[in-house]
């Protein structure tokens, strides 16, 4: 395949940045999107140009670091896959592909396609944990009976990889899908119920402080989420938040 790539280049956080056009050739449909960018970067290095900075780690849909906006869609045109799982067979020979970083005030661009998602880490530090007795007489988690539907819902919420596609795709740059998945994953289980009230208040407050927008129930986040995290988590988090706020008064 022969492609024309229009890629966002930005030298540093304060640089204005611009779209730059690059032709690439000999791209196989079996390559992943990131492998296609590797091919381009090798060409750029050979010609003395600086390679395009983009985030990646596991390259198998687990770590959530590959965050690209491709032809106006977070993680590109395929459903329920991350950018590293997207294959070039989804594109046509001769196509022009637009590649941009996540765009959100709370995710400032560091360089080219790399954004700073440490706001997610700070939200997790505000409450995304449980306190466990590690004194030596800890109860085996498997001895606590958990209803199957709660275990399943907690597991599904726990599949969120923190990629940030929900924020990037939301017209309000809301982080509600991410935060609600993290709140649900813990509060649905007995071990997470102890701190459930403080957790939801602290995580939602931190989310607001980081500059993420509010949810207006558009649902774009659920469509673009590579792990198909459900909007039901947002409804659950809202219920928990109101209950916790009322009982704190």
Binding stretches for ligand SF4 (CB under 6 A):
160-166, 177-178, 181, 225-227, 229
Residue 57 touches ligand FES, criterion: CB under 6 A: yes
d(CA 161, CA 228): 11
Q: Which of 58, 80, 139, 235 binds ligand FES (CB under 6 A)?
A: 58
d(CA 163, CA 211): 17
Residue 199 touches ligand FES, criterion: CB under 6 A: no
CA torsion 58-61-66-72 (nearest 10°) is 160
Nearest-10 crossing angle of helices 196-209, 176-187: 170
SS3 content of the chain, % helix, strand, coil (to 5): 40, 15, 45
Instruction: Please count the residues of the chain.
Output: 249
Nearer to ligand FES, 59 or 87 (CB): 59
Q: Which residues contact 97 (CB under 8 A, 6 or more apart)?
A: 3, 4, 5, 6, 70, 71, 91
CB of 229 to ligand FES, least distance (A): 15
63-122 positions binding ligand FES, by CB under 6 A: 63-66, 82-84
CB of 58 to ligand FES, least distance (A): 4
Q: Which of 59, 87, 103, 122 binds ligand FES (CB under 6 A)?
A: 59
Nearer to ligand FES, 62 or 141 (CB): 62
d(CA 23, CA 131): 53
CB of 158 to ligand SF4, least distance (A): 10
Q: Degrees (nearest 5) of the Cα angle 12, 77, 1?
A: 85
CB of 74 to ligand SF4, least distance (A): 7
Sign of the Cα torsion 94, 95, 96, 99 reads negative
Write out the two tokens for 182. 């993290």
CB of 162 to ligand FES, least distance (A): 10
Nearer to ligand FES, 34 or 104 (CB): 34
Nearer to ligand FES, 82 or 233 (CB): 82
Q: Binding partner of residue 57 among ligand SF4, ligand FES, none, CB under 5 to 8 Å per kind?
A: ligand FES
Contact 192, 186 (CB under 8 A): yes
Nearer to ligand SF4, 127 or 164 (CB): 164
Q: Binding partner of residue 6 among ligand SF4, ligand FES, none, CB under 5 to 8 Å per kind?
A: none
d(CA 115, CA 8): 12
CB of 105 to ligand SF4, least distance (A): 17
Write out the two tokens for 206. 């931190």
- Interaction site with ligand FES (CB under 6 A): 56-59, 61-66, 82-84
């Amino acid at each position: 395949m022969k492609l024309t790539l229009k890629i966002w280049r930005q030298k540093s956080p304060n640089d204005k940045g611009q779209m730059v056009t690059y032709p690439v050739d000999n791209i196989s449909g079996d390559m992943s999107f990131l492998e296609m960018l590797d091919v381009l970067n090798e060409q750029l290095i050979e010609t003395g140009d600086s390679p395009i900075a983009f985030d990646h780690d596991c390259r198998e849909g687990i770590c959530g670091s590959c965050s690209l906006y491709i032809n106006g869609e977070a993680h590109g045109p395929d459903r329920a896959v991350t950018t590293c799982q997207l294959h070039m067979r989804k594109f046509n020979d001769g196509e022009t592909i637009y590649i941009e970083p996540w765009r959100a005030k709370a995710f400032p661009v560091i360089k080219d396609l790399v954004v700073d998602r440490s706001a997610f880490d700070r939200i997790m530090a505000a409450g995304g944990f449980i306190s466990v007795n590690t004194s030596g007489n800890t109860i085996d988690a498997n001895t606590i009976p958990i209803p199957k539907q709660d275990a399943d819902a907690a597991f599904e919420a726990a599949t969120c990889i923190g990629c940030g596609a929900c924020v990037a795709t939301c017209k309000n740059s809301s982080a509600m899908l991410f935060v609600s998945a993290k709140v649900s994953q813990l509060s649905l289980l007995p071990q997470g119920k102890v701190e459930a009230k403080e957790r939801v208040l602290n995580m939602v407050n931190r989310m607001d402080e980081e500059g993420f927008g509010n949810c207006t129930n558009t649902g774009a986040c659920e469509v673009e989420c590579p792990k198909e995290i459900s909007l039901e988590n947002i409804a659950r988090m809202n219920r928990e938040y109101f209950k916790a706020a009322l009982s704190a008064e």
